Structure 1
Amino acid sequence: MYKSLVSLAIVASISTPAAIAAEESQNLERIQVIGSRIALRTATDSATPVDIITSEQLEATGITETAKALQFAAPSYSFPFSSITDGSDAVRPASLRGMSPDHTLVLVNGKRRHGSALVHLGGTLGKGASNVDLNAIPMTSIKRIEILRDGASALYGSDAIAGVINVVLKDSAEGGSIAAHVGQTYEGDGEQVRLGINQGFSFSDDGFVNVSLEAHQKNSTNRAGLDPRQQYPTLADGSPDPREATFDRKNHHVGDSDVDNYGLFFNAQQGLDTQGKLYAFGGITKRSSTSGAFYRRALDSRNVTEVYPDGFLPQISPEIIDYSLVTGYEFELGQWEIDTSAGYGSNSFEYNVENTINASLGPDSPTSFDAGTLSTSELNLNLDASNYYDFVNDSDLLVAMGVTWRESGYQIEAGQEESYIQGDYQDKSGGSQGFGGFTKESEVDESRTNLGLYIELENQLSDYFYWAAAVRYEDYADFGSNTSWKLSGRYELTDNLALRLTTDTGFRAPSVQQLYFTNVSTFFDPDPITGEFVPRESGTFNQLSPVKAELGIPDLKAEISHSYSAGIVYTSENGFVVTLDAYQINVDDRIILSGDIDKESSAVIASILEGTNADSARFFMNAVDTQTQGVDLVVTQGINLGEYGDLKANLAYSYKETEIESIRLPSILNGLEDQLFDRIEVIRMTEANPKNTANIGFTHHYDDFSTNLRFSYFSDYTVGYSSSEVQYDARWTTDLSTRYQATDNLAVTLGAQNLFDTYPEKRPEDNNFNGIFVYPLTNTPFGFNGGYYYLDLRYTY
């Protein structure tokens, strides 16, 4: 099923300045990528568009996070910034081709990777989704990243509606590198230090172990405005408290979190003479971060002045532990190539809340809490087989087939009792401020299994025509079965010009997170008169909840897609390459996390919610049909400048637009259906992503110097607020770095990200929470940290 990603070669359209260098490096090693199992294809021969991002290009961005670096290397991939969004500050959502974060399948060395336990609940892109945490894969361990920009459920199973990202780990059997990065923002905060060590070991003539260790520490940034509001209760004589004059009014934290991230990954293989080979890979990552919630003023009813006389900023400090292990055995059985493997992965997200209080417990309340833990696990067993048969026109027909079995688990562990109980101190609100703990009633320990079968055919019928077809059947224990298919072809019109076409159906099974996540969380809505943010308790009720059953919310089912793609590929003898691909993705029954049904809107709702501690209810439900259309353009050119070195130029442009075709909401809520999917959610799904993104890159090599210059473009985007929606203007950013090869082993890079200190457009004065939220808190495509300068040192041996 996944063997093509690690053992059979095919090279696809290149979307980065480093792409040309990728073919020239590693002794002209053929790049092995996703989307096909047929071997010995050349640089732009794929029937589907694929981007290849090398480790050298990721490093050239100067960005220390895998997911963020990928955004600046591939415009079709977005990784927007968010702040004050609870756990999403630590694991941000990402998307491919403007789709939901969970519409992209992630593989490592061709094997399915488990997702994050976190469910995005706040106002971020992809609300209600869970995604794979690419930042849990250390950049030090990555050889390259391959992005298949095409539907591929028939090839790889659930989730591959928008495409597939395959992370290929380093596999050198000797030598290694030590890399260090230091930097900070122009504002003087956000200091970062990252140390990465990679080492290859050869313990036999046909075996290796490649090990990567990475430690990354990043300090927070803060772009909050000053809080002009009254902080302390008025004195008995009606005069203001004198502390108002000396209070530090930069009391919110709006920006990057503090992060400590440690990762250890390995990739190993051992040949067994003529008996095939054994392989194994995996790793463990531990990350802790700290971000802020809303500030509680001294006069706030949620404060206890005996503990916090000047108010307090609750801090959400999750600890994330992620680990995985895949082992496999490849061998020949007659004429068949067999690959059998087993993989296990787990992700846990422990909510810790610090500098806080349960106000209902009064002065005796703890000020830090274990608020509970989310965890997910995945076990994959695969058996794949492929063989070549004689076919018409003296060509070979590749037949591949296989079976996969997967068990997915999800668990919620309650927090300590003080993090969620309601005390009796002065009628104050219960639960830990900033993030209320998971209750005993929220505890879940559930799993589901599925079985998949597939068959795939590929054939290079002539020198001019290649075609492929695949069919896949999957059966899930909870919602039933699905059959998906894919057809693709490529025809060379001339020696330089080729046409490629694909059509496919796909599906995404409801994730175990969407099936079983449940919690009562505190959210803040602005008061329509005062503008102050007022807390409310929102309950997310899962598929097992009696609340869902009483309201008649239907059970979740799979999302179904149908995609079309057409592209042209032009290659010239002088190295000029153009790929242009247009696509359309129709998705029916998209799963949403609904809006809140408030208990004040209906006596029936109030009765159903009685005893849940929730003021409102929301659910995961199949409710929306969408159509996404887009165009991806890639242009690359290498130029020999003679005595002045050589220049590689690249243009990559992505256009994507999503429209809602229909909204189908359950008709059992006495006229409250509009609250399930409101204007804000429509905007989030259709306009929160910039429709146009692009980058223009130049890499100049001269003697021992290499200079990278990149211009990145993000078009306008819209954020929906309770009062109105705001459109934010387009922006360009500029990145510049110069690398000096000081010795054969040592390279020094000095660079600047966002060279000209560009910020997003500010929020309007009537929508910035008294000037505290200067920039939009969610969906800013490149963040609002401003410029960042850095120094990289790399020693290879």
Structure 2
Amino acid sequence: MRKYNAIAMAVITATSLSSLPTLAQQQDQAEADVEEVIQVVGSRLSYRTATDGAAPVDIISAEDLAATGITETAKALQYAVPSFNFPSSSVTDGTDAVRPASLRGLSPDHTLVLVNGKRRHKSALVHLSGTTGRGSSNVDLNAIPISAIKRIEVLRDGAAALYGSDAIAGVINIVLKDNDSGGTANAQIGQTYDGDGEQYKLSASSGFKVGDTGSLTVSGEFHHKNRTNRAGPDPRQQYPELPNGDPDPREETFDRYSFHVGDADYENAALFANYEQEVAAGGTVYAFAGVSDRSSESGAFYRRALQSNTLTEIYPDGFLPILAPDVKDYSAYAGYEWLQGEWTIDVSAGHGVSEFQYNVKNSLNASLGPTATPTSFEAGTLENKETSVTIDAQRFIPFVNNSDLSVATGISYRENSYQIKAGEEASYIDGGYQDRPSGSQGFSGFTPESEIDQSRDNIGVYLEAENQLTTDFLWSAAVRYEDYSDFGDNTSWKVSGRYDITDRFAIRGAVNTGFRAPSVQQLYFTNVSTLFVDRGDGLVPEQSGTFNNLSDVATALDIGRLEPEESQSYSLGVVWNGYDGLAVTLDAYQIAIDDRIILSGDVSPADSPAVAEALSQTNADNARFFVNAVDTTTQGIDLVVSKDYDLSSYGSLKAQLAYGYNDTEIDSVNLPSLLDGLEQVLFDEDERVRMTESVPSSSASLGLTHEMGRWTSNVQFSYFGTYSINYSSGKETYGPNWITDITLSYALSDQFDVTVGAQNLFNEYPDERGEGNQFNGIFKYPLTNSPIGFNGGYVYTEVEYRF
């Protein structure tokens, strides 16, 4: 079986490994893989397990993910790793379908995601609404079904010196199942305490032997979920007054619960395969591929009958536009690995595609009039493609003190392309009917002027060395050079080490630099769409333009080309392997990032004559840009404690405690010279709070798993600290929240299990927004950033068959 090690150039980013089981689950994993040495996140070089190394790593097994009963990969990871954040959102356009996730309180695009050690492509979607990570594009973790996952390795340390761009906050490596026989079939049904959000998930995974030396594992999943709705009633006037000034009698019968605030209707189908085979020449051929196809439906703002963007001939009572994007992900990798003299060589190539097609239902283009407008639209498509080719080589060289120096080197080529395709003409055209607003309501289509098809490429070269100099001292170092076609080059390095003071106590640390290249989405995304903006006296529609740095508007304002973000990171930790299986790690870190890329606030003609002139040839009321503008410093600590207990005739108990704290401060703000004096517009208090306080600064979890005979029970207590959102009336702070999840499983036989469970057992909701920020009582809860969502409790039943 191919190991993820030096062979592993396939395994993940960083320069060292975890020094002890950072979660109790790792002990289970070690027992389950007696014949397989587990290469975990952090080194390309040597056969190591999660019990000796120089950086903090969490290992979450497939069993641990499945035991939560959580149906989404990203959400399950949130409850397993406190430093990982996956907030809920609603009424946020495309973000309702592909939500952002982040590590250590940084941006979603500061975390590198790998599958089987290979870089995973990002979503084509750019988060434009007021969510955490506004202006970023992230990997869609939910496109990878839990049924296909063998384990997830989370490196909480920088690793750009190994894998290049993005690995500033850390690395997530998803290892796919690779069994050559047997499998599982699983079905789950459930709903919220309120009786909505009904969902079911069907999944299966099976391994097949290929010849005498190969394996093929195929995993599939179908997940259907009905929407939830926690909107308050709309008390506003809905209809024009009668000619005599009296209210329309329909006001008395109108269904005031007209908004949709909650999870979207959702349907996702995914299929993944993982193949590996030893060949006659002594090498190993491997390949893996996956496809995911998702549809969802979420609400925009309700259009009242009295508004000019409503045609009462079609919708006499007004209407709720429905955003119904189709999201598709495709990926495939193949490689060959062999021994050439003293060197292990790995050659691989892969291609990934993310396609996000905007569709709008139950809508209209009011400017076309009641007889000409469609009520559903194809509003345009975003497409992101990534192609990678890598050659990696590793060997051991005799070194001082009778030790071996493990050396790895390699070269990679990557091409990224980004395309915006215009929507159908009716989705953006101005038909001129009665001066009504143009474009499909809910989401105005991409115009031909927004169309773009651009690409960039880069070449990376790295060198890494690792050495166990003595039985007590491990060191490693790495350097990587990258050259990009669009902005130039970058060199990153990392040095890390671990010293065992005693057999039970060790210290570890690392110093590294890193970088994140501006994504092709940030480089090339452009659009003018209708957004509802809070101007202090309610939400008003505006034609808001996002202009890329190639546009005439950006050129006129001398925005300048985007440059890479650069980071300097330091970490220091202690490890204690205590008695009777007690394991403790405590790691402190600091990550300073220069020239962070932000999506600016909106500038309008009233702000500056230069802006007025730049926008005069567009149909936009305001403009925003991607710009290198902010320097920040993030500090934090991660604590993990795990222990197994033998309860004799009362079975066994596994306990794990994890705590994460992070704090981000803004060091400086640097904006384009032509926009000098507009800092409070381009990087306003909303953005400051979003960057520094939008995720909980503290998160923790305590998990207890008890096994006795055929019974298995699990209780997890999860803590999410305070987080803040800024509104026109000022900042509001929410939390903290405690969430309790509980499951109870019974093994009817060696192959068949039945589970019942409750997530958010005590029906916790986030704090309500202040009265002045509830938009007439409709938005009771924060629409973005809540780590616990706003659905309340959820109960489910699950059955699993193993074969």
- TM-score tier (shorter): over 0.9
Which ranges in structure 2 are unaligned for 5 or more consecutive residues? none
2:460 is aligned, of 452, 455, 461, to 452
Q: What is the CA-CA distance between 1:674 and the residue it aligns to?
A: 2.8
CA contact (8 A) 1:4 1:33 kept: no
CA contact (8 A) 2:11 2:173 kept: no
Q: Indicate whether 1:57 and 2:64 are aligned.
A: yes
Q: What is the CA-CA distance between 1:103 and the residue it aligns to?
A: 0.3
2:419 is aligned, of 411, 416, 419, to 411
User: Counterpart of 2:398 in structure 1: which amino acid?
Assistant: D
User: Counterpart of 1:595 in structure 2: which amino acid?
Assistant: G
CA distance in structure 2 between the aligned counterparts of 1:724 and 1:102, rounded to whole angstroms: 28
2:428 — aligned with what? 420
**Paired residue secondary structure (1:216):** strand
CA distance in structure 1 between the aligned counterparts of 2:282 and 2:707, rounded to whole angstroms: 45
1:298 — aligned with what? 305
Change (3 A) 1:43 1:444: closer
Q: What is the CA-CA distance between 1:426 and the residue it aligns to?
A: 1.2
1:662 — aligned with what? 668
Per-residue CA distance 1:710-749 (angstroms, 9 max, x = gap): 0000111110112211111211000000111111100111
Q: What is the CA-CA distance between 1:543 and the residue it aligns to?
A: 1.8
Q: Indicate whether 1:762 and 2:768 are aligned.
A: yes
**Paired residue secondary structure (1:583):** strand
Q: What is the CA-CA distance between 1:678 and the residue it aligns to?
A: 0.6
2:289 — aligned with what? 282
User: Counterpart of 2:253 in structure 1: which amino acid?
Assistant: T
Change (3 A) 1:450 1:787: same
User: Counterpart of 2:385 in structure 1: which amino acid?
Assistant: S
CA distance in structure 2 between the aligned counterparts of 1:567 and 1:620, rounded to whole angstroms: 36
**Paired residue secondary structure (1:685):** helix
CA distance in structure 1 between the aligned counterparts of 2:365 and 2:700, rounded to whole angstroms: 47
**Paired residue secondary structure (1:331):** strand
User: Counterpart of 1:4 in structure 2: which amino acid?
Assistant: A
CA distance in structure 1 between the aligned counterparts of 2:140 and 2:799, rounded to whole angstroms: 27
**Paired residue secondary structure (2:433):** coil
Q: Indicate whether 1:581 and 2:587 are aligned.
A: yes
Q: Indicate whether 1:356 and 2:372 are aligned.
A: no
1:320 — aligned with what? 327
1:628 — aligned with what? 634
User: Counterpart of 2:648 in structure 1: which amino acid?
Assistant: G
User: Counterpart of 1:108 in structure 2: which amino acid?
Assistant: V
CA distance in structure 2 between the aligned counterparts of 1:671 and 1:116, rounded to whole angstroms: 35
2:217 — aligned with what? 210
Question: Residues 74-89 of structure 1 correspond to what in structure 2 (within 5 A)?
Answer: 74-89=81-96
Question: Residues 633-782 of structure 1 correspond to what in structure 2 (within 5 A)?
Answer: 633-669=639-675, 671-782=677-788
Change (3 A) 1:572 1:28: farther
1:119 is aligned, of 126, 140, 147, to 126
**Paired residue secondary structure (1:285):** strand
CA distance in structure 2 between the aligned counterparts of 1:360 and 1:488, rounded to whole angstroms: 62
Per-residue CA distance 1:350-372 (angstroms, 9 max, x = gap): 00011011111110211110000
User: Counterpart of 2:527 in structure 1: which amino acid?
Assistant: N
CA contact (8 A) 1:4 1:34 kept: no
Q: Indicate whether 1:165 and 2:160 are aligned.
A: no
Q: What is the CA-CA distance between 1:410 and the residue it aligns to?
A: 0.2
2:408 — aligned with what? 400
Q: Indicate whether 1:101 and 2:133 are aligned.
A: no
CA distance in structure 1 between the aligned counterparts of 2:535 and 2:438, rounded to whole angstroms: 21
**Paired residue secondary structure (2:65):** helix
Per-residue CA distance 1:272-293 (angstroms, 9 max, x = gap): 1343010000111100000000
Per-residue CA distance 1:292-340 (angstroms, 9 max, x = gap): 0010011111101101100000010000110000000000111100000
Q: What is the CA-CA distance between 1:533 and the residue it aligns to?
A: 1.5
Which ranges in structure 1 are unaligned for 5 or more consecutive residues? none
User: Counterpart of 1:723 in structure 2: which amino acid?
Assistant: S
Question: Residues 7-22 of structure 1 correspond to what in structure 2 (within 5 A)?
Answer: 12-22=19-29
CA contact (8 A) 1:6 1:33 kept: no
User: Counterpart of 2:8 in structure 1: which amino acid?
Assistant: S
Q: What is the CA-CA distance between 1:409 and the residue it aligns to?
A: 0.3
CA distance in structure 2 between the aligned counterparts of 1:503 and 1:11, rounded to whole angstroms: 16
Q: Indicate whether 1:785 and 2:794 are aligned.
A: no
Per-residue CA distance 1:437-486 (angstroms, 9 max, x = gap): 00000000000000000000000111100000000000000000000000
CA distance in structure 1 between the aligned counterparts of 2:594 and 2:293, rounded to whole angstroms: 37
Q: What is the CA-CA distance between 1:44 and the residue it aligns to?
A: 2.4
CA distance in structure 2 between the aligned counterparts of 1:347 and 1:41, rounded to whole angstroms: 34
2:506 is aligned, of 498, 502, 519, to 498
**Paired residue secondary structure (2:673):** coil
Deviates more, 1:383-392 or 1:41-50: 41-50
Per-residue CA distance 1:203-254 (angstroms, 9 max, x = gap): 2111011001111101100000011111111111211111111111110000
Change (3 A) 1:308 1:13: farther
CA distance in structure 2 between the aligned counterparts of 1:664 and 1:128, rounded to whole angstroms: 17
**Paired residue secondary structure (1:579):** strand
Q: What is the CA-CA distance between 1:30 and the residue it aligns to?
A: 3.1
CA distance in structure 1 between the aligned counterparts of 2:44 and 2:469, rounded to whole angstroms: 15
CA contact (8 A) 2:6 2:408 kept: no
CA contact (8 A) 2:310 2:318 kept: yes
CA contact (8 A) 2:156 2:170 kept: yes
CA contact (8 A) 2:22 2:584 kept: no
Q: What is the CA-CA distance between 1:16 and the residue it aligns to?
A: 3.6
Q: Indicate whether 1:592 and 2:622 are aligned.
A: no
Change (3 A) 1:105 1:281: same
User: Counterpart of 1:273 in structure 2: which amino acid?
Assistant: A
2:8 — aligned with what? 4
2:258 — aligned with what? 251
Q: Indicate whether 1:434 and 2:438 are aligned.
A: no
User: Counterpart of 1:453 in structure 2: which amino acid?
Assistant: V
Q: What is the CA-CA distance between 1:424 and the residue it aligns to?
A: 1.1
User: Counterpart of 1:31 in structure 2: which amino acid?
Assistant: I
Q: What is the CA-CA distance between 1:15 and the residue it aligns to?
A: 4.0
CA contact (8 A) 1:44 1:569 kept: no
User: Counterpart of 1:526 in structure 2: which amino acid?
Assistant: D
CA distance in structure 2 between the aligned counterparts of 1:447 and 1:69, rounded to whole angstroms: 34
Q: Report the number of matched residues.
A: 795
CA distance in structure 2 between the aligned counterparts of 1:794 and 1:18, rounded to whole angstroms: 20
User: Counterpart of 1:62 in structure 2: which amino acid?
Assistant: G
User: Counterpart of 1:118 in structure 2: which amino acid?
Assistant: L
CA distance in structure 2 between the aligned counterparts of 1:305 and 1:640, rounded to whole angstroms: 70
Deviates more, 1:167-176 or 1:20-29: 20-29
CA distance in structure 2 between the aligned counterparts of 1:53 and 1:631, rounded to whole angstroms: 20
Superposition RMSD on alpha carbons, in Å? 1.4
1:466 is aligned, of 461, 465, 474, to 474
CA distance in structure 2 between the aligned counterparts of 1:335 and 1:4, rounded to whole angstroms: 16
User: Counterpart of 1:305 in structure 2: which amino acid?
Assistant: T
CA contact (8 A) 1:17 1:699 kept: no
Deviates more, 1:517-526 or 1:506-515: 517-526
Change (3 A) 1:682 1:18: same
User: Counterpart of 2:41 in structure 1: which amino acid?
Assistant: I
2:610 — aligned with what? 604
User: Counterpart of 1:238 in structure 2: which amino acid?
Assistant: G
CA distance in structure 2 between the aligned counterparts of 1:46 and 1:204, rounded to whole angstroms: 37
CA contact (8 A) 1:388 1:397 kept: yes
Question: Residues 169-248 of structure 1 correspond to what in structure 2 (within 5 A)?
Answer: 169-248=176-255
Q: Indicate whether 1:263 and 2:267 are aligned.
A: no
CA distance in structure 2 between the aligned counterparts of 1:251 and 1:5, rounded to whole angstroms: 53
**Paired residue secondary structure (2:494):** strand
CA distance in structure 2 between the aligned counterparts of 1:622 and 1:586, rounded to whole angstroms: 15
Q: What is the CA-CA distance between 1:578 and the residue it aligns to?
A: 0.1
User: Counterpart of 1:193 in structure 2: which amino acid?
Assistant: Y
User: Counterpart of 1:479 in structure 2: which amino acid?
Assistant: F
